[in-house]
Amino acid sequence: MSINNIQDEIIEEFEGLTDWMDRYAYIIELGGQLSPIAESLKTPENLIEGCQSRVWIHAQLNNEGKIVFEADSDAMIVKGIVALLLRVLSYQKPEDILDSELYFIDNIGLKEHLSPTRSNGLVAMVKQMRMYALAFKTLKGN
């Protein structure tokens, strides 16, 4: 499924949740469904700088040339946000990640309903995921 198709799917899911308390509850629920990453991946190299909470993102390139992201956080709301980002960007080609515009974030009103520090953390998570994509694209020689 393409990045835009997944984003459209997320937007559609959130359209049914008009109250922001329901949206927060849904995001927390998504975080609860996120598989925890191995403790061995909770390293300083995988820790995202600029987040209010502790967030770890790990990436590897699979045999199909797609990036597989794993992530975890010590805060449930952040874990849910990470789950959304993983849903959109994991199992995508590096160039597709780099070429994508993550419009679902603004479209569901996420950025405007986060505290400034959480919003900065969201930007930092997206930036790190794009950096992984750039590194893998460079490695592949594309």
Question: Could you tell me which of 106, 113, 110, 67 has the C-alpha nearest to residue 86?
Answer: 67
Mark out the alpha helices in 34-115 (DSSP H runs): 76-89, 94-99, 104-107
Helix axes 20-33, 76-89, angle to 10 degrees: 70
Main-chain phi, psi angles of 67, to 5 degrees? -85, 130
Q: What's the CA gap between 71 and 29, in Å, rounded?
A: 16
Q: Is 51 a catalytic residue?
A: yes
Can you read off the two tokens belonging to residue 128? 């790190």
From 30, 51, 81, 89, active-site residue? 51
> What is the Cα–Cα distance from 51 to 47, expressed in whole angstroms?
9
Please give the positions annotated as active site: 51
